[in-house]
Chain A
């Protein structure tokens, strides 16, 4: 919908790196909340130009991604008592290095997206791609269930940013439906992590390997 916020996009990249580096899930969730608020800023210029739909979208993103989802995740972390990122497959330093490689690759690949460019579009495509890849990296690099969910939510944020670059955002009805769906997903994931915790007494999904072949 708009590409007038290079500062917002840079902040999104910084939150990505912070989540890659941090050893505490609560900090990751706080950064996710910040990322949600940043995404809520993106439709604002259009809202100020008099589009009520963009205003709704901004408010919806703020409420769902900035407030509700982080609250759900914090509750899950407290109730399952899993505060620390335990033994990721890549350590924090290596993760950040891979993060830089991802960012460089995203700038190269983002420039290849064939579509009419507006100011800051290159930055937006690159940040979207980098966020998607960072989300994937976090999903495979966390052993605890909640870490994988955090990766999934970052991945979803990346798709939202990239959709702004590629098509000026999806139609309003779909954006709202996707937002609702993601909220539902966060609730189901949260409920699920709690039943994993009750049954296994831990939420280390890399140790769930009974089913094979």
Chain B
């Protein structure tokens, strides 16, 4: 019942947005709808936490510890982004502000995007999970070019074609995993339900599972932004309106990593050893971190800088998943930290960019003085993002390295630390340059921030520092239960 409600709210919201006339009402509807979805998700998460996995619709819809964690994160970030979106579009220059028709379209696509991501997490059938993942691409392509100018259309086209072509390999991977079962036809409609796949994984043909898993990592990895398939990501993140960038970076990439997580236990059971699949993940993760490090050093555009940080952090999460059970716990913790921190960073960068009329970091100086809330927030979130102690991301990166070293992955841990150090130095310079100095004289007097915006920035920053020094016992229990589904007991 609760799962049906989770699926129904975005659909209803999308339809409602198309029926509403006025722009202000559309944004109110966005906030109300995503608040409702987040509340239901939290309730569903509480049920899963107390009683274990729940399912509906003959087991096609299901929610377990792993998907419930991701679902709460997705809906939470969506709620924040909806609140932010109203503020952001109110401050857009007149030429770019949305009219009623564009706002309706934005609202409908926003809810379809939310619905398709909820679908990825709710479908226990890995075939339907793929379909939902492909729909996230289709729903979000037009969100990137909300303002249809040349650059955003170019970015959206790249996104659409690269992610579709990449994801189709994920479908091929699903086909291989399906075919690896001893008698795929005999299992009937439930053949691709995740719990059944895991139960049958021991008897699967290891060669087919291996081919399938590589295709899967390349396919879903494209959507996740792993190098070398990440090329769409900086373009899409930098050209999309900032609330959309925040959702892309904060949760869309997580959904793709979730899909890869689902296949890890199948691969370990079919190949008889967990190491094979983990090695592939560590390789892709380190490659992403290295590529991102190089591009972060030479970046000029603040949103592209954040986009390459996404590539880096997706790499970190992937390495963590490859470091065994302790690494998985740390990777999930990192997923949460990265989502909160990156969406905060995008929120701040978007508003600072509006204030300065540019996203070029060389033209942004003294942002902490020129716009106190967002300038300071940008500085703080960048510091947390690159792993300053005692931020939450420092903690989770530390835990990942510890898992790597105690698991005997010395070389991988060394490369990991080197990449993190390069990113730290490169991005620290950008962060200090933007925050310090004198603001340019041409800026007009700032408009006062709404109390909602202040509360949003302050609470997210506080959360990032708080969870760096103290993880609530309930939260670490959630990570451990979810990690057990990925890496086994």
The chain A residues found within 8 Å of chain B, CB to CB, are 113-115, 132, 136, 139, 145, 148, 152, 155-156, 159, 162-163, 166-168, 170-174, 177-178, 180-181, 184-185, 188-189, 191-192, 195-196, 198-200, 205, 208, 210-211, 213
Contact = CB atoms under 8 A, between A and B. Distances in A.
Interface stretch (B148-156, B334-342, B425-433, B474-482): B148-156
Contacts of B151: 210-211
Contacts of B189: 171-173
B220 to A, nearest CB: 15
B229 to A, nearest CB: 14
B291 interface: no
Interface string B143-162: 00100111101111110110
Contacts of A162: 172, 175
21 contacts: A114-B205, A114-B208, A139-B161, A159-B172, A162-B172, A166-B179, A170-B192, A173-B125, A174-B125, A178-B127, A178-B130, A181-B131, A185-B134, A192-B141, A192-B142, A192-B156, A195-B148, A199-B149, A200-B150, A208-B158, A211-B151
A201 to B, nearest CB: 11
B145 A195 contact: yes
Nearest to B123: A177
Contacts of A139: 161, 165
B486 to A, nearest CB: 23
Contacts of A171: 127, 188-192
B257 interface: no
A136 B161 CA distance: 12
Given A115-B179, A132-B172, A210 B160 contact: no
B330 to A, nearest CB: 31
Nearest to B187: A171
Given A139-B165, A155-B168, A170-B174, 17 more contacts: A114-B207, A145-B157, A162-B172, A163-B172, A163-B179, A171-B189, A174-B128, A178-B131, A185-B138, A189-B160, A192-B142, A195-B148, A196-B157, A200-B153, A208-B153, A210-B154, A211-B155
Chain B contact patch, size range: 35 or more
Contact of A174 (B131, B142, B207, B304): B131
A208 B157 contact: yes
A132 B185 CA distance: 23
A107 B20 CA distance: 57
Contact of B127 (A148, A174, A196, A210): A174
B299 interface: yes
A140 to B, nearest CB: 10
B321 to A, nearest CB: 26
B168 A167 contact: no
A205 B192 contact: no
Nearest to A158: B172
Contacts, number: 128
Given A114-B208, A115-B208, A211-B155, A177 B168 contact: no
Contacts of B138: 181, 184-185, 188
B128 A199 contact: no
Interface in B26-76: 60
A174 B126 CA distance: 9
Contact of B161 (A152, A163, A172): A152
Given A139-B165, A156-B168, A195-B145, A166 B153 contact: no
Contacts of B160: 188-189, 192
8 closest pairs, A vs B, by CB? Answer: A174-B127, A166-B179, A167-B179, A163-B175, A167-B184, A208-B154, A211-B235, A177-B131
A207 B219 CA distance: 26
B153 A173 contact: no
Nearest to A208: B154
A89 to B, nearest CB: 16
B141 A170 contact: no
B185 A173 contact: no
Nearest to B178: A167
B46 to A, nearest CB: 30
Contacts of B128: 173-174, 177
Contacts of B60: 173
Contacts of A181: 131, 134-135, 138
Contacts of A156: 168
Contacts of A205: 157, 161
B239 interface: yes
Interface string B333-366: 0000000000000000000000000000000000
Interface string B274-304: 0000000000000000000001001100001
Nearest to A211: B235
B164 interface: yes
Contact of B157 (A132, A177, A178, A192): A192
A198 B150 CA distance: 10
B259 to A, nearest CB: 15
Contacts of A136: 165
A205 B150 CA distance: 12
A174 B479 CA distance: 31
B164 to A, nearest CB: 6
Contact of B184 (A114, A132, A168, A188): A168
A199 B153 contact: yes
